[in-house]
Structure 1
């Protein structure tokens, strides 16, 4: 994880001007002077997230190790909470150690602010997570937004009130005027309309979301018309407690906006609630269009909903819907049509996207599709959750998970990949092809997390199932996985036999990407087995297979890493260093922190052999800073762990304990970019 993984200027951009809230911002700052956990509570639409974002910007100077905002509205399973936080912080779960343990280890010595946004559906999980982090990491502060507190000892709970409405105006009126100018350029508050706007904001109880929805209507109605139409809706309100009234006020304001939509727009609003996170127009058309609402109508209605601020258009062209509006749409959907067919169409849409991403693996288009899968993370999770909770959809879930495998692999998201594959394997127990495919994929992820002994039985079962079906490619993939697990277990004989048999199968019928992976892994096995020249030949063959993808980065970086390891065992430290400098640039580009960690480690050894002991200590410190190696043998091999201790001891002896510690700690303090620059002898590196 980078030292400042989320500097305050990289927080989500504020789409509209921030208005008022001086007291609330001061209260957040004062609360953090008393405690390390602050929770902003209040009903939907009251402005908790905006206050949290603005507070984060104002408090950034108090947190030298960064600010990280984690959006949780799309996370429905608490088991994925820690993984979601880790991903937001740039971590990669490269091993089987629980992600919460990695986070604690990474945050233990840091001074940072962690924002958990929209926690009300995960209160118990967020409470357990916050308690663990706060107890173990004294420099971490946590800011929570939720409709209810976490109920933890020492938690400072700040109820976010509606905006103030006074006779002369107040912050609520300021907000209305600001949003009115966005909707209707040239709008100004005047003596003629101020009283009406004050009354309008009072009717809306000063709730920011309600005010913003009303302000948009100035495109078609005057302030007087707005007030009259809103008054016509207020027969719904009763004399209950203020919190209930405010909830009803917001519901009324949203319902009023709903009534102002055309019937097709209302239907689209309801259907769009199936998306978790964002979506683009093509996805909306694919999921929401049918005989009642064709694609042209979807596009037209989407523009209409954007014009009414029901959906918001992000800077990247995608559309977003606030949680409160999504909830309203979901409730309406339950009344107008069956939900399950729509969720199935949503799943099918994500399956097609994942299939195109899988087809782009190890091609020049790989990076673009990896970024697309990153953007669809919440939608992917929603689709998988649908598959593994609705009877009869489990095999479709395993097929979707298989399509996502290469994305999890390239991004080193092994724990999440295993989570979904294993959920599917628990549900699909028969001898189906989807089970055989998921078994070797889950086994391979386990080998990457230091669990080769547990991976072996899964790959063996995959081999048996594929053999029964006459699936040669499945057999080759299972054998390749068995060879990889055997390599990490130090069983060179079995590894060699499995790789040779896999090669015999895949050379005849295997897809290009399977052969590339096999050549790369076989090269790794041969380098570790003392056959470095043969390892280099395997790498050259893998690169030949990549000739049609000159811009591909991920596989090329790992192949270069295997070549560097082969040069190391050939005692060619200069050749090893040359390959590694190329490797580090590639791994940085694809955000592969596992590859970067391994590269820093191996280059640290090279520097120790070259008697550049201080530089070697810096790189060993950088490698130790990332959690990728905690609990896993160095570079996946106990023998290489022994080599690490020998070379670190040599540097420590040459420098002396104090100087070694000084350089080692310097490496731990460098950011990813600074470490890559240092490793590549960039004169701009610190």
Structure 2
């Protein structure tokens, strides 16, 4: 690599994996043989599937292997957790979000040509959707490896299936010699988990046979062993073994998968019976949560006349002590899939689950409403993050509304309330899916439909499908006008202005923005901020950059004194920078861009960050700093906007990009330009933001 790389202002790539693999919550015991076999399989096969019954340790094995081999994958390791996903229609979008792709169609481009490992965890309920998608990814990404955990294979050509067996049960005697330490793995796991609940516990010559027999009774299934070990807090080892003897005397403990499944279910059932009655009820009710929950959510959803709200915290603590519920943060809890499935089955058996699911839905609606009220305020970003954390619960609530009689309109209300998180995170593909579903489910001209229509139209505009947005906008205008909803009418007109802008219809856009201004006058601040920077974009793009600067100033004045608000400010600054560009005020453009790049990074808006990096790359080209410009354009191509077309779908901006890139290619030559461009693609996002905001400010 030539010296220019080392002497240039940009940082060296960190080499860190951006996989986001979760930290292991507890020690990893044994599995050395399986890890070695899995490593060899990943070298020889592009698709490896770990199969086995629930609780056997497929996920732990896959994550440990991914952690150990992350350095071997230059393109990174990406984990996609699918246990809480129930709708196969969202699979492609979920994978796209996990790998940082702009849309499902751009997943192959995001994975790139580098060696990459994609881990799809818990796929058995989505095999029909996973199989064709994995087949297509492997075909389009030659260097990709896919590691799947599932209770059944995907049945694809070239798939290497590795059954994950229970841990070896035989205990090792003092003086035994073993090559890989695998013979006592079940006993070792029990010993480690037992020591966590009973400090000082150890496997000794006096208790080794009892521990080995207990592990044998549990067929060496890790989850069953861990559930049993927790019972040592209240039951001595010998009594625990006697209980298991009684419990399992009727079971055939042979090696079949059916027997192991029965063993696990019986162990889980035994743990269930050892819980107090109210703990069992809470266990069942907590199964309504998809993903995690906090104490306030548990109290609101699970409490009623049978289960007092005050006592939920105490009961939850008891379930944590029994390892039924896991604590994943100071106030965050989750249940393992197997335990959640058991609770869900019990719930259906003991009570009507609909009131519980209604409370869960209402909890999600309340969170979304509070996030909407905080949008473009100092606390708005925190609420967006909160809704992102509740994505699985929000999806579950939407699925309930669309599947239960009489709930579709409420589902539309929830979908519309999620607009801030979809807009700030540029989650246009998922927004379009849910909005289209609720619009199909609620064809009646209810007030919520007008909002769903203009939001669905806005999403299409952001995805480069402005012509498809027009009939939706027309219906939204009609409904809002009929209902006398002045602000709803203004939002629809604002959306029409944006769609017309991207379609190049200058007069129609100007008229729509003028109508929107009249309708939204005196309306909510968030609506006016959006109106001003969208109108400013239209003016900057269509020959009135000075007026565009005035529009941006209006947006920024509305946000004065709102400490901590970044998203609205960032977009107003981006449009201001674009106006400076068209005025040939390059220094002002660069200063403004450096400010908005940092803001877009903070709010994690990929559309905004990409747009700002792209424009800053053009600034470098205008300054004949072609190497830096190529780095920025490479970074913009790695962290793309969440639309299927670049440059916000604007043909004129695309033409500018083509001309300026041609200048850089002519100045550097194709080989040097490609080298710098590739460098931008491998820099971590924080490195490229530091480069854009700090390093480029120098001479």
Report the TM-score when normalising by structure 2.
Answer: 0.94
Instruction: Say yes or no: does 1:545 pair with 2:558.
Output: yes
1:427-506 paired onto structure 2 within 5 Å: 427-506=441-520
Q: Which of 80, 86, 94 matches 1:76? A: 86
C-alpha contact 1:105 1:627 (8 A) present in aligned 2? no
C-alpha contact 1:78 1:125 (8 A) present in aligned 2? yes
Instruction: Say yes or no: does 1:622 pair with 2:632.
Output: no
1:119-138 paired onto structure 2 within 5 Å: 119-138=123-142
C-alpha contact 2:57 2:223 (8 A) present in aligned 1? yes
Q: Distance in 2 between matches of 1:659 and 1:450?
A: 32
Q: CA deviation at 1:493?
A: 0.8
Q: CA deviation at 1:92?
A: 4.0
Q: CA deviation at 1:328?
A: 0.5
Deviations 1:269-306 (A, max 9, x none): 00111110000111011100000001112111111100
Partner of 1:96: none
Q: Which of 329, 333, 341 matches 2:347? A: 333
Q: Which of 528, 553, 567 matches 1:554? A: 567
C-alpha contact 2:425 2:605 (8 A) present in aligned 1? yes
C-alpha contact 2:81 2:120 (8 A) present in aligned 1? yes
1:232-243 paired onto structure 2 within 5 Å: 232-238=246-252, 242-243=256-257
Change (3 A) 1:37 1:9: closer
Change (3 A) 1:422 1:236: farther
Unaligned regions of 5+ residues in structure 2, if any? Answer: 1-12, 174-183
Partner of 1:563: 576
Q: Distance in 2 between matches of 1:415 and 1:520?
A: 23
Q: Distance in 1 between matches of 2:277 and 2:641?
A: 53
1:343-382 paired onto structure 2 within 5 Å: 343-382=357-396
Instruction: Say yes or no: does 1:417 pair with 2:417.
Output: no
Q: CA deviation at 1:6?
A: 8.3
Q: Which of 282, 293, 302 matches 2:307? A: 293
SS at match of 1:153: coil
Partner of 2:623: 610
SS at match of 1:114: strand
Instruction: Say yes or no: does 1:61 pair with 2:71.
Output: yes
Q: CA deviation at 1:82?
A: 1.7
1:135-174 paired onto structure 2 within 5 Å: 135-168=139-172, 170-174=184-188
Partner of 1:601: 614
Two-structure CA RMSD over aligned residues (Å): 1.8
Q: Which of 39, 43, 51 matches 1:29? A: 39
Deviations 1:355-399 (A, max 9, x none): 111111101111211111111111111000111111211110111
* Deviating more after overlay: 405-414 vs 522-531: 522-531
Partner of 2:284: 270
1:235-254 paired onto structure 2 within 5 Å: 235-238=249-252, 242-254=256-268
C-alpha contact 1:114 1:142 (8 A) present in aligned 2? yes
Q: Distance in 1 between matches of 2:66 and 2:252?
A: 37
Deviations 1:37-75 (A, max 9, x none): 111100000000000011011111211221111110011
C-alpha contact 2:169 2:185 (8 A) present in aligned 1? yes
Q: Distance in 1 between matches of 2:504 and 2:463?
A: 15
Deviations 1:20-45 (A, max 9, x none): 11111111011112211111100000
Q: Distance in 1 between matches of 2:456 and 2:509?
A: 18
* Deviating more after overlay: 422-431 vs 670-679: 670-679
- Structure 1: 4+ residue segments shifted above 6 A: 3-6
1:74-113 paired onto structure 2 within 5 Å: 74-93=84-103, 99=104, 101-113=105-117
Change (3 A) 1:236 1:530: farther
SS at match of 1:233: helix
Change (3 A) 1:230 1:313: same
C-alpha contact 1:8 1:57 (8 A) present in aligned 2? no
Instruction: Say yes or no: does 1:11 pair with 2:21.
Output: yes
Q: CA deviation at 1:588?
A: 1.0
Q: CA deviation at 1:533?
A: 1.4
C-alpha contact 2:425 2:604 (8 A) present in aligned 1? yes
Partner of 2:3: none
Q: Distance in 1 between matches of 2:358 and 2:659?
A: 56
Q: CA deviation at 1:240?
A: 7.5
* Deviating more after overlay: 190-199 vs 470-479: 190-199
Q: Distance in 2 between matches of 1:463 and 1:10?
A: 43
Change (3 A) 1:374 1:682: same
Q: CA deviation at 1:81?
A: 1.1
* Deviating more after overlay: 611-620 vs 323-332: 611-620
Q: Distance in 2 between matches of 1:532 and 1:450?
A: 23
Partner of 2:10: none
Q: CA deviation at 1:654?
A: 2.2
Q: Distance in 1 between matches of 2:289 and 2:25?
A: 21
Q: Distance in 2 between matches of 1:386 and 1:457?
A: 29
Partner of 1:46: 56
SS at match of 1:314: strand
